[in-house]
Structure 1
Amino acid sequence: MSNAELLLPLLVAVPILMAAVPIALGLWFDRTGWSVTALTTVGLFAATSYVAATVYETGREVHVLGGWEEPQGIGIELVADPFSALIVLLVTVTAAGLLAYTRTGGPRGNTFYAGYLLLVGGLIGLSLTGDVFNMFVFLEIVGLGTYAMISSGDGPESAVAALKYLILGTVGASLYLIGVGFLFMATGALNIEVLGTEAIPAIVEEGGSDLTLLRAAFAFIFVGFALKVAQWPLHTWQPDAYQHAPDGVTPLIAALVSTVSAYALGRVMFTAFGVEFLATTPYLQEIVVTVGAVSVVAGSTLAVVQQDVKRMFAYSSVSQFGLVIAAYGALTETALVGAIIHLIGHGVMKAGLFVAAGVIAISYGARTVDEYAGLAENRPLAAGSTAILLIALIGIPPSAGFIGKWYIAVGAIQAELWSIAAVIFLSTMLTLAYAARLLEKMYFTPATPVESPHPPGVATDGGEPNEGQESSSEHRTDGGVLANESRFERGSPDAVSLGMFILLVGIAISAVVLGFAGGLFFEWLEPFTSEVFN
């Protein structure tokens, strides 16, 4: 048993167990959660890097929990291969990096960091699990952690958004579980590898009633994941969750929650069901492509008309994940690699954009498109980083947004699915439309004083005004930001730490650097894609 194999269960167990530590220490100490979480996530990133290096050198690593390999197809496994290793690396580096924001920008409190670690553990488990039932278990852990993160915000809007996510997320997980039940009835197996190499190919070859049951299983699983990934019209939880979650939480859930769910869907589609089943099932490819394409157009169109910046980015995520789903439907190796690159790139870009939104809200007091006027003059570093990330989101080379879209378009053309190529072009134009609104406001519209939306000296986040706060001019916004009657004064630059700026600039640079890594991604993923398509 290799060291990397031994690390797999620890990657899942450690963050879940450590989630109890901040609460336990909170009985004696205040605010120990950040330190515990920082040590845990940095350790997870180091361990994940070692596992990924081992996978690159020697191939995939499999850990059979409890050594229980029989009966075949039912034993619980954790699997690290090129696909899952990439996603776990994204999870751990994002979870560790975003702590630079929450250290100063909040939320704080031991219970918050307990939920943070629970969410990270669920995301890693969802990425590494090798059987479809435990995928449901980790989906539920992720759902509980995400609910806790969203509800940690102040005010009733956060509570309502969290409840909406909990209800719709439970519906999605329930639909997925029904699909797993049908899958087990048809095949007698839960292990993803056994399903993909033995059970499902045998049913596809034989046909009959089991094949009908298998198709029903896929339908339930796909709809369940479509809700988790926020595909139109099942997307309604996502804009509220992203908008009303605390600024320190939104980057985490935007970069990881739907991203890992989209990974899980790809894993089930290509490793469990397989390309042959997807290609031979009548109208399945057309349905998957249509769902993705409609989500691309609907998400981009809704993003164009938004005024709240976080809500705009939320609808943008609906569009970007639609592109990934459409790429899955193309059923070509190039399109699949493009979808994986786009998943990684989108996670990086959205983490950066929501970090930027939080930094700007704290330092400049701006949360709507119009309030970004004059940002480049007054907060040049935040504006510059935001501009780079918006350009990457549009897909202008060299950037992570371009390389993913390019490979998806090439794969779609190889499959003669011209509709996907057309949708990529249309979504790029719509992305340009809403990105250009922000760029125009930041760089070409001078800032003007605006009237304060709340009476002076009032705390609108449910708390009391700060001690020493000048009641004649200052108040707290819904993001916990000091504000004046003039937007020039409403922000508090001193509230933004050096770590927050380093994090933001680092993410912006990463979004550009990833644009040069197309060949590396192809080389890294070749063992996985060759197994899927050969």
Structure 2
Amino acid sequence: MTDLPPFLVALPLVASVVVLFAGLARSKTGWPIAALAGVAQLGLAGYLAYRVFTAGPISYVVGGFEAFYGIELVIDGLSASVVVLIAAVSLGILAYARTAGPRGNPFYATYLLLVGGLTGVAVTGDVFNMYVFIEISGLTAYALVASGDSGRSAVAALKYLIVGTVGASLYLLGVGYAYIGTGTLNMADLSAMLAEVGYQSTLVQTAFALFAIGLFIKTAVFPLHTWQPEAYAGSPDSVSGFVSALVSTTFAYALIRISLTVFTPDFFAAVDLAQTLLIVGAVVSIVAGSLLAVSQTEIKRMLAYSSVSQFGLVLAGLAVLNQTAMVGATVHLLGHAVMKGGLFLAAGLIATATGAREIHEYEGLSERMPYAAGAFAVLAFAMVGVPPTIGFVGKWYIAFGAVEAQLWPLAAIILASTLLTLAYFARLVERMYFREPAAADDHPEGEATGAQPDAMVADGGRPSLGMYAAVLVAAVLAVVLAPAVVPFEQLLDPTLDILLP
């Protein structure tokens, strides 16, 4: 037993308040405070993950009030992995944002609030408390998307706000239905009491449908993805990287947690329609997201639609409901955060140096920016699933799990997703490496063209070392994390034995 779990959430929230008040005295204090808080949270997350993987799950009852009245924080192998991801990626993107912007204490305060909200979603063991953290995460994400200088950012944030509010409201209705039937909000208690009420109960099935559809919206499952393309493309580059890497990822984790901890595999065994809902959502997202990505001409919109497809793969791993596929879903969830966040940061780095934001503007990029183009290509092939990257390993586990479950059509779609993903990334890599740059765009690496896109570096358009470091580290991780999957699977097995007995 340890009293440290609350500090995972409290640390970024308190740091956010400190940043805000420090800004009243001195305007440039935000980044150092945020960076210090990020380092501290990463260290704490790493320590708690070590405790979980060596000694078992950690439970903390807030205020000493036991369930069903109190709020419980629970960290197991799955939530510990997500917490470490949130801490590590948010710190990396903070290094990128120091030069890329946006800047100012209000931005860093909002950034830390979002980190705290996402961490709360990952560690809470209470469905209403999860709603509170979903709202904190949503409101701060809307504000960060709107932090760009253009009207496009404001419109994207408004659309995100409207659609996101619908998703959160549906989730809250699901909480209400579950509470009416059981009288508790604790996830472990709900699991037992929903089984007593009966999985064939209309109330229980309605609660699941509301939970699932609300989180489908938050995760951007097709056709409930409409907020995502503009939110990703219209926000500043640092924010695009952060939101694409962590926000939908954490909400996908929430869907996994609600499905397996609250409703359990027994619910899906008793209610075929529930598993069908997950499978249909997965298949449609994989196919439609890829087809929409192929049709895009703007880089960030292409990457946004790619995320719709990739989260379809995570949903497929959940829908299969066996341990092999669940390992794949977890690996792909974590790997996607690294790969897609890295791709958005790379796109921002390239736009900062050259002004290029359209696919045709990437022609000959390998000559102008060899390091950035190389990192982008590595991350793109990792998203396709080319061995030996983390993208390949995640897809392999999900597909093999579908084969084990004899879900042959789903397995075929998962394998076909590799070709669909290749269709839009290959054309981009081909332009970077096998096309000659136009004479007007012939600039050395790091030299700006004079274009001033949204979220441009304020000091002349020259990418910083921190921007390069964040992108290159993401590219390296996309490769070196793949061999770590086997030991990670062994660490995750005790948690999956509980979630998928």
* TM-score bracket relative to the smaller structure: over 0.9
Select which of 40, 56, 62 maps to 1:43: 40
Q: Which residue is 1:476 aligned to?
A: 452
The equivalent position to 1:203 in structure 2, one of 197, 200, 206, is 197
Q: CA deviation at 1:521?
A: 2.2
Alignment-mate amino acid for residue 52 of structure 1: A
CA offsets 1:247-283 (integer angstroms, 9 cap, x no match)? 1111111000000000000000001100010121032
1:503 to 467, 470, 474: 470
Deviations 1:460-519 (A, max 9, x none): xxxxxxxxxx9xx9453344369xxxxxxxx96x71112221221111110011211221
Q: 1:186 aligns with which of 165, 181, 184?
A: 181
Q: Deviations over 1:211-251 (max 9, x none)?
A: 22100000011000000000111101000000011011111
Residue by residue over 1:57-98, the C-alpha shift from the partner in whole angstroms, topping out at 9 and shown as x without a partner, is: 1101111000001xx433201111100000000000011111
The SS at the match of 1:19 is helix
Q: Report the TM-score when normalising by structure 2.
A: 0.96
Cα distance in 2 for residues equivalent to 1:287 and 1:123: 26
Question: In the alignment, which residue of structure 2 is the partner of 1:526?
Answer: 493
1:425 Cα deviation from its structure 2 partner: 2.1
Q: Distance in 1 between matches of 2:270 and 2:209?
A: 15
Written as runs of structure 1 = structure 2, the 5 A alignment for 1:211-222 is: 211-222=201-212
Distance 1:59 1:286 in 2: 33
SS at 2:59 equivalent:
strand
Q: Provide the C-alpha distance between the structure 2 equivalents of 1:15 and 1:479, rounded to a whole number of angstroms.
A: 24
| Match 1:52 to one of 49, 54, 61 | 49
* Higher normalized contact order (CA 8 Å, seq sep 6+, divided by chain length): 2
* Distance verdict in 2 for CA 1:481–1:42, change over 3 Å: closer
**2:113 maps to which residue?**
118
Deviates more, 1:58-67 or 1:7-16: 7-16
Q: What are the residue-to-residue correspondences of 1:92-131 with 2, within 5 Å? A: 92-131=87-126
Q: Distance in 2 between matches of 1:475 and 1:341?
A: 38
Does structure 1 retain, via aligned residues, the 8 Å contact 2:261–2:499? yes
1:167 aligns with 2:169: no
Give the number of equivalent residue pairs.
Answer: 496
Is residue 355–residue 452 contact of structure 2 (8 Å, CA) maintained in 1? no
Map of 2:65 onto structure 1: 68
Equivalent residue of 2:225, what SS?
coil
Q: Displacement of 1:426 after TM fit?
A: 2.0
Deviations, residues 381-431 of structure 1 (Å, cap 9, x unaligned):
000000100110000111111111001001101111112111112211111
State the shift of 1:124 in Å.
Answer: 0.3
Using the alignment, how far apart are the partners of 1:120 and 1:65 within structure 2?
20
Give the secondary structure class of the aligned counterpart of 2:278: helix
The match for 2:425 among 391, 415, 435 is 435
The separation in 2 between residues aligned to 1:6 and 1:478, in whole angstroms, is 43
Looking at structure 2, the residues matched to 234 and 450 of structure 1 have their Cα atoms a distance apart, in angstroms, of: 41
Amino acid at match of 2:401: G
Amino acid of the residue matched to residue 456 of structure 2? G
Secondary structure of 2:4's counterpart equals helix
Which amino acid in 2 is paired with 1:83? L
Instruction: State the AA in 1 paired with 2:452.
Output: R
Displacement, 1:21? 1.7
Cα deviation code 1:115-152 (max 9, x no counterpart)? 00000000000000001010100000000110111010
Deviation at 1:450, TM superposition (A): 4.9
Aligned equivalents of 2:78, 2:25: Cα separation in 1: 42
CA distance in 2, matches of 1:495, 1:31: 21
The equivalent residue for 1:487 is none
CA distance in 1, matches of 2:71, 2:371: 48
8 A contact 1:296–1:320 mirrored in 2: yes
Query: 1:287-326 alignment to 2 at 5 Å?
Result: 287-326=277-316
The 3-state SS of whatever aligns with 2:358 is coil
Over 3 Å counting, the alpha-carbon distance change for 1:474 and 1:182 in structure 2 is closer
Identity of aligned residues (%): 49
Q: Distance in 1 between matches of 2:170 and 2:415?
A: 33
Query: Post-superposition, which runs of at least 4 consecutive aligned residues in structure 1 deviate over 6 A?
Result: none
RMSD over aligned Cα atoms: 1.8
Contact 1:105 1:495 in 2 (8 A): no
What SS does the aligned partner of 1:476 have?
Answer: coil
How far, CA to CA, are the matches of 2:396 and 2:371 in structure 1? Answer: 29
Q: Does 113-122 or 30-39 show the bigger shift?
A: 30-39
Aligned to 1:396: 386
Structure-2 separation of matches of 1:189 and 1:474 = 59
Q: What residue number does 1:467 align with?
A: none
Matched, 1:247 2:237: yes
